[in-house]
Amino acid sequence: MTDRPAPTAARRPPRNRTALGPAPVATAPDTPSPVNTAFLETLVGYNARRAALAVIGTFMQRMAPFDLRVVDFSVLTLVAHNPGITSRQLCTALDILPPNLVGMVRQLEQRGLLEKREHPSDRRAQGLHLTEAGTALQQDTQAIVTSLESESVTHLSETERDTLIRLLRKVYQPAG
């Protein structure tokens, strides 16, 4: 056994409220206190992510009936605007690892949206092309995405939107 007495609240020194600032204001249990995000809001990554989440949330809702994710739409759009694009080119353009793209392409092929054809100048490569169904889906979804992009930034002027896109590109595209 030990001869030490158990600690008690009476042994703690009293808090000096003047040094610590005022006591916290009690709030109703169902009223959350505001969270200080001031530092995070100074970070480019935090703001870019929050903006992306705002737009992507709406995107996912609108694309759910088509069973398309952001990356699926991006692949279909690049193939639509670049018929014959290779998997390597897609990986570079979307910053996707080749093993990840293989599964996506296979899935889009199985859905009858995409097909591989011999590349005209490189026998080792295959060009990707949209099928008729893929072209129709891409055109429909591109119109929806164009609309939702406009809706997502209605509080920005056209000049502000263009500036935002230009600045974001400067962050992720190499200088040159």
Residue 131 DSSP label: -
Mean pLDDT score across all residues of the chain:
86
Domain locations along the chain: 44-167
CA-based R_g, the chain, Å = 27
Main-chain dihedrals φ then ψ at residue 108, nearest 5 degrees: -70, -35
- What percent of the chain shows pLDDT beyond 90? 65
Question: Does residue 115 contact residue 108 with C-beta atoms inside 8 Å?
Answer: no
Show Cβ contacts of residue 47 under 8 Å, excluding neighbours closer than 6 positions: 41
Phi-psi region of 8 (alpha: psi -120 to 50; beta: other; left: phi over 0): beta
Q: What value does the mean pLDDT take over residues 41-55?
A: 92
Q: Indicate the pTM of the whole model.
A: 0.75
Question: Which residue, 96, 102, 104, is CA-closest to 69?
Answer: 104
Question: Which residue, 80, 51, 76, is CA-closest to 66?
Answer: 76
Architecture of domain 44-167: Orthogonal Bundle (1.10)
Question: Which residue, 164, 162, 154, is CA-closest to 47?
Answer: 164
Question: Does residue 130 contact residue 75 with C-beta atoms inside 8 Å?
Answer: no
First-to-final CA distance of the chain: 75
What is the structure's pLDDT at 18? 45
What does the pLDDT look like over 85-139, one tens digit per residue?
A: 999 999 999 999 999 999 999 999 999 999 999 887 777 889 999 999 999 999 9
